[in-house]
Copies of this chain bind each other. A is one copy, B any other.
Amino acid sequence: MDRTPERFSEFGFIEGLRRGICPAHPMVETGIGDDCAVLRLSDERCLLLTTDMLIDRVHFRLGTLTPFQLGWKALAVNLSDIAAMGGRPVSWLLAIGLTPNLPDVFLEELKRGLFACARRYGADLVGGDTVIARTDLCLSLTVIGEGDQRRLLRRGGAREGNVIFLGRPTGDSAAGLRVVLDDPPGLSAEVQKMLRRAHLEPEPQLELGRLLAEEDLSRAAIDVSDGLLQDLWHICEESHVGAEIDESAVPLSAPLVAFALATGANALDLALAGGEDYALLFCVPPENAERCRRLCRERLAIEVREIGRVRREQGLWLRGSGGLRPVAPRGYDAFREGLREERPKG
Interface residues of A (CB under 8 A from B): 4-5, 8-9, 12-18, 21, 23-25, 27-28, 30-32, 36-37, 39, 41, 47, 49-55, 57-59, 90-91, 93-98, 107, 111, 114-115, 122-136, 138, 140, 142, 144, 146
Contact = CB atoms under 8 A, between A and B. Distances in A.
Contact of A53 (B49, B50, B140): B140
Contacts of A129: 14, 51-53, 140
A8 B58 contact: no
Of A18, A30, A58, A130, chain B has the most CB atoms within 10 Å of the CB of: A130
A54 B131 CA distance: 8
Nearest to A16: B111
A8 B125 contact: no
Contacts of A94: 14, 17, 51
Copies in the complex: 2
Contact of A37 (B47, B93, B134): B93
Contacts of A90: 25, 27-28, 39
Contacts of A144: 39, 49
Given A24-B122, A90-B39, A8 B130 contact: yes
A17 B98 CA distance: 15
Given A91-B25, A91-B27, A95-B52, A135 B135 contact: yes
A37 B47 CA distance: 15
Given A27-B91, A124-B28, A125-B21, A130 B96 contact: no
Contact of A32 (B122, B125, B140): B125
Given A24-B124, A122-B24, A135 B132 contact: no
Contacts of A12: 130
Given A31-B126, A124-B25, A53 B17 contact: no
A276 B336 CA distance: 47
Nearest to A22: B124
Contacts of A50: 93, 127
A59 B41 CA distance: 35
The 3 closest A-B pairs by CB, nearest first: A140-B140, A37-B126, A53-B95
A12 B28 CA distance: 34
A346 to B, nearest CB: 32
30 contacts: A8-B98, A12-B130, A13-B130, A16-B111, A17-B94, A23-B124, A24-B122, A24-B124, A25-B123, A27-B91, A27-B146, A28-B90, A28-B124, A31-B127, A37-B91, A37-B126, A37-B127, A50-B93, A51-B93, A51-B95, A51-B140, A53-B129, A55-B97, A55-B138, A58-B134, A59-B131, A93-B142, A129-B140, A133-B138, A135-B135
